[in-house]
Amino acid sequence: MKFIDLFAGIGGFRLAFESLGCECVFASEWDKFSQQTYQDNFGDIPAGDIQKIESKDIPKHDILTAGFPCQPFSIAGVSKHNSLGNKHGFKHSTQGTLFFEIVRILKDKSPQAFLLENVKNLLSHDKGKTFSVIESTLREELGYHLYYQVIDASLLLPQHRKRIFLVGFKEPIKFNFPIINPININIEDILESDVEDKYTLTDHLWQYLQNYAQKHKEKGNGFGFGLVDLKGKSRTLSARYYKDGSEILIPQIGKNPRRLTPRECARLQGFPDEFKIIVSDTRAYKQFGNSVAVPIVKEIAKEMIKSLSNKIFLEIKPSTIKQLELPLVF
């Protein structure tokens, strides 16, 4: 099956779908550093800003994939925009409108199926109004049969990362999200054995983070650094990890904790060790923080391909297939 990779980032969707024998016929990513990583690993440069690409220039495909920009809908993104007095969600002047680029392409190219990924907060943003617009647009305006589910990547990876996945089919065919059997993988399983000293926090930064956490603790807030249990799961890796690494810190005996290395971030997202990391650490942290959890996407892709291949039609049009949430593993 042929698929396109929109808002491609560094190719997490592509890794998952190509590992199942699918062929990527088009990719789009506006960030030049992500384009560089994508080219280093897949051999071709994604087209640029999707807003400047006409539908006629996109090849025919069976499946559209997209992890469309989530910052306007994420908890952190909403808080940031509120603090700056900016609009968020669909009112955001640029990022929030990019969902409608997906709508444009779905309308013009009419692929058999799509897979979209976003933050869990998309469901509750603006008291559910944002998701209501998305749902009605995909179902009623475009005529897709929609399924959606929130999945925590901790089922297959050593980090808690709740994301909503939306799967749509042009025909009323049966689809089930995968029943994922959790695997026993912890932070210590993805750590490198020999790590440079530059990843260890300076005394100044470590003291600052401790003081910051204490200040918020006294105020009854939950803000603070995340010193991980090596035999457990980490917090969610974010694109801001490059700033101080505070959400995921690795304890060290006899010295200050350290950040994850870029390779460890890649492993935390399920990227294979063969995946090339050519860019700077700062760029790599942003890229992996913005990426998808590859093994989770692969499990969903398997079920999509199975549904498209078997085409077992539903007896009743699924006008209200509700979202489910897999049991979380802690």
Neighbours of 62 (CB within 10 A): 18
| pLDDT over 90 (residue 213) | no
Q: Superfamily for 187-289? A: DNA Methylase, subunit A, domain 2 (3.90.120.10)
| pLDDT over 50 (residue 81) | no
Residue 279, Ramachandran bin (φ over 0: left; ψ between -120 and 50: alpha; else beta): beta
Report the length, in residues, of the chain.
330
Contact predicate 288/267, CB 8 Å: no
Lowest-confidence segment of 130-134, 221-225, 243-247, 264-268 by average pLDDT: 221-225
| pLDDT over 50 (residue 61) | yes
Contact predicate 156/178, CB 8 Å: no
Of 62, 140, 58, 148, the closest CA to residue 105 belongs to 58
Q: Superfamily for 2-181+292-325? A: Vaccinia Virus protein VP39 (3.40.50.150)
Q: Looking at residues 101-118, what average pLDDT do you find?
A: 96
Ordered by start, the domain boundaries in the chain are: 2-181+292-325, 187-289
Q: Looking at residues 289-307, what average pLDDT do you find?
A: 98
Best mean pLDDT range from 83-92, 108-117, 125-134, 310-319: 108-117
Q: Percent of the chain at pLDDT above 90? A: 75
Amino acid at 176: N
Contact predicate 87/93, CB 8 Å: yes
Q: Which residues contact 316 (CB under 8 A, 6 or more apart)?
A: none
Give tens-digit pLDDT for 240-276. 999 989 999 999 999 999 999 999 999 999 999 999 9
pTM: 0.88
pLDDT the model gives residue 74: 42
Active site residues per annotation: 70
The 3-state DSSP class for residue 297 equals helix
pLDDT the model gives residue 72: 52
